[in-house]
Amino acid sequence: MARSGSAVKGMLTLFNLRSLLHSPLPGLLSQWQWTRAIFPPIAQKNYCTKPTRPIGRYPVPYKKDLPYDIVELMEEMETKSGFLPNVFKVLSHRPAEFRAFFAYYNALMNKETGRLSKADRELIVVATSISNRCLYCVISHGALHRIYSKNPTLADQVSVNYEVAELQARERVMLDFALAISRCDNITEEHFKNLEAHGFDREDAWDIAAIAAFFSLSNRIAHFTDMRPNEEFYSMGRLPREKDGEPKK
């Protein structure tokens, strides 16, 4: 099986989380089928917390039944990040869709052009996902926003009520537009004028809209599969990182 392209592997830059966490991750995977193996013992690392309930309503394939490129990506992700986000496990049920999903994810979330920071992109996902009532995406992308923004509270505020959250003016107009896309409001020139007044051009508007549209799709997939967030996401970015064994002051 050929290896996946660089677009899919680019996801690793987003999920290289282990170095960002404040402490090592506990837990065992011994009772989870993902550790069943055609791999030698050295590859069977116990990184994830033991799930307290199923991560979704569809079965997670065994590694031996998955294409090589998908297994390789998952192994690398888990090794570098310290745990494997459940979205990888759930979508592995449909390998062709797995590849398509993460290729577009990477194109939207890891691009290096435009005026949207990584924190901006994650905040768009949080706002869109709370509008669509998606537990998985609110929790996981709230964690990523805390890390990229170094702000431990803003994603929580947005997930409750973005209209009263402590947003900068540019962030507010950005989320206004994202939610208009998510709700399928009529989009007018007034939307673009509001964005331009806060420093966003038409290409930035496309980025905001595409992220909101893509995650509206992702939210609905998470809904019907009953995708559950990894426990690790809940605490990420909330506490100072440890350095040399000591808590950061």
Count the neighbouring beta carbons within 10 Å of the beta carbon of residue 75: 15
Q: Tens digit of pLDDT per residue, the chain (249 long)?
A: 444 444 444 445 444 444 333 333 333 333 334 433 333 333 344 334 455 678 999 999 998 999 999 999 999 989 988 999 999 999 999 999 999 999 999 999 999 999 999 999 999 999 999 999 999 999 999 999 999 999 999 999 999 999 999 999 999 999 999 999 999 999 999 999 999 999 999 999 999 999 999 999 999 999 999 999 999 999 999 987 655 444 444
DSSP state of 21: S
How many C-alpha atoms does 208 have within 13 Å on its Cβ side?
A: 28
For the record, the structure tokens of 211 come out as: 């992220």
Tell me the whole-structure pTM to 2 decimals.
Answer: 0.78
Yes or no: say if 212 and 124 are a contact pair by the CB < 8 Å rule: yes
Where does 111-188 have alpha helices with state H?
Answer: 118-131, 135-149, 154-161, 169-182
Return the closest-CA partner of residue 143 out of 41, 50, 23, 15: 15
Name residue, tokens 């920071």: 117
Query: φ, ψ for residue 243 (rounded to 5)?
Result: -135, 125
